[in-house]
Amino acid sequence: MNHRYSERICSTQKSFIREILKVTANPEIISFAGGLPNPNLIDDEGIQKAAAAVLKEDGKTALQYSTTEGHPPLREWIAERYRIRYGLTVDADNILITNGSQQCLDLVGKVYLDKGDAVIVEDPGYLGAIQSFSMFQATYLPVPLDEEGPDLDCLTGVLETSSAKFMYGIPNSQNPSGITYSENRRRDLASELCEHEIPFLEDDAYGELQFDGVARKPVSAYMDGEGILTGSFSKIFSPGMRMGWVCAPDAVMEKILIAKQASDLHSNYLSQRILAKYLEENDIDAHIAGINKEYRKRAEWMVSKMDKCFPDDVHYTRPTGGMFVWLTLPEGVSSGELFEAALKRNVAILPGTPFYADGGGNSTVRVNFSNSDKEEIEAGIEIVADVLDEIRNSPQ
């Protein structure tokens, strides 16, 4: 049969990272490629207790169809955390529970994007977002990042010459670059976007994973209630349960609700109930502090090893949160080549190229530290250094 597929699907690539994850499932491989939380920091025992309690106390209801918006106490918990942690004026009605925060990108894409519409993205930007918006045939307006966040001169130029539907960004420990926007930049960015009436889709996957434990006000906090925030329990609870949320002003939420109904009716209700029960019965702040302590250690192990093994012309970030170190390789070494050679020695890294919506980034590499122990980190980085050396010294 001659299937006549849509333009949208024919112009969207498979996710390189999802394909790599299949290779790295092999336990012999040291994988720095993914973004997996450390399994030792997933509280399976606490979740087991919460699951047992929910199914015992109210199983018939927890297993039945539920509302599109999500479980009210869970939505209220999220809203309250925004109020307390960030001073946002939101309530449960502004929260909708999604199937992981990746689904927020799909829903917001549905709500704003028609074929050819432009989205302002960070350069480099999160590849999962680029893939998601591509389903709606978006075009991209990349804005480079400096150490404090998006380059505002460049953004102003883009805003004055183009018509974007929204800007997408990750202000805390940006994926992949690791950059955290400064407070001034957040304020200035918000003011610039508001002036041009461009909504900011603020992906806060790593807001809780800041090693210093400081809560940084989101860009949305400076936008007079007009920001759209996405969040995730994947990094602080369980990624396999796919619990995320979107927070949006009432008028936008009305549209998101339609998109959610059409997409899958509602998110997994049993998992929402287990999560709500877990949050009730456990000290999530202590749990998060424990994760940050562990990830900080792992980041330090990785960076120390890089300090020892890497030549001076390899540049890399010193993470203050999140899960990744971002490398810039010396001229003449391509990340694709390094990836292939390291994989032959059973170490997986992630070339940075898929993070660049308009191509480029050939000298960049993302390296994950959250999902490896000290021995793996040290052995893996040593191999990457070896391989890099071999590539540079091999006859061209």
- Considering only residues 23 to 82 of the shown chain, the ones binding a second copy according to CB under 8 A are 34, 36-37, 39-40, 42, 44-45, 47-48, 51-52, 55-56, 59-68
Give the residue, chosen from 186, 242, 296, 366, that forms a contact with a second copy under the rule CB under 8 A.
242
CB of 302 to a second copy, least distance (A): 20
> 134 or 364, CB closer to a second copy?
134
Length reported for the chain: 396
Give the residue, chosen from 152, 215, 257, 379, that forms a contact with a second copy under the rule CB under 8 A.
257
Q: Is 258 in the site for a second copy (CB under 8 A)?
A: yes
Which of these, 357, 356, 380, lies nearest to 367 by C-alpha position? 380
> 12 or 139, CB closer to a second copy?
12
Give the residue, chosen from 144, 157, 213, 240, that forms a contact with a second copy under the rule CB under 8 A.
240
Q: With contacts defined by CB under 8 A, name the span among 142-150, 184-192, 237-245, 388-396 that binds a second copy.
A: 237-245
Distance CA 228, CA 240 (A): 24
Q: 316 by DSSP, 3-state: which?
A: strand
CB of 242 to a second copy, least distance (A): 5
Give the residue, chosen from 80, 93, 250, 264, that forms a contact with a second copy under the rule CB under 8 A.
264
> 164 or 388, CB closer to a second copy?
164
Using alpha carbons only, what angle is made at residue 366 by residues 99 and 132, rounded to the nearest 5 degrees?
35
Distance CA 35, CA 371 (A): 8
Q: In sequence order, what are the residues at sequence separation of 6 or more whose Cβ sits closer than 8 angstroms to the Cβ of residue 374?
A: 298, 301
| C-alpha distances in Å from residue 257, one per residue of 3, 70, 131, 163, 167 | 31, 10, 22, 25, 21
Residues paired with 98 in a beta bridge: 244
Structure tokens at 291: 């994760």
> 65 or 212, CB closer to a second copy?
65
Helix (H) or strand (E) holding 74: helix 72-81
Distance CA 245, CA 32 (A): 27
Q: With contacts defined by CB under 8 A, name the span among 127-135, 184-192, 309-317, 372-380 that binds a second copy.
A: 127-135
Helices (H) and strands (E) in the chain, counts: 13, 14
CB of 308 to a second copy, least distance (A): 31
Distance CA 207, CA 33 (A): 21
- Considering only residues 206 to 235 of the shown chain, the ones binding a second copy according to CB under 8 A are 226, 234
- Considering only residues 366 to 395 of the shown chain, the ones binding a second copy according to CB under 8 A are none
Give the residue, chosen from 24, 31, 94, 132, that forms a contact with a second copy under the rule CB under 8 A.
132
**Cα dihedral across residues 183, 245, 206, 291: positive or negative:** positive
Q: How many other C-beta atoms lie within 10 A of the C-beta of residue 82?
A: 22
> 30 or 303, CB closer to a second copy?
30
Distance CA 192, CA 217 (A): 17
Give the residue, chosen from 78, 79, 96, 113, that forms a contact with a second copy under the rule CB under 8 A.
113
- Considering only residues 90 to 109 of the shown chain, the ones binding a second copy according to CB under 8 A are 98-100, 102-103, 106
- Considering only residues 297 to 356 of the shown chain, the ones binding a second copy according to CB under 8 A are none
> 60 or 395, CB closer to a second copy?
60
CB of 315 to a second copy, least distance (A): 29
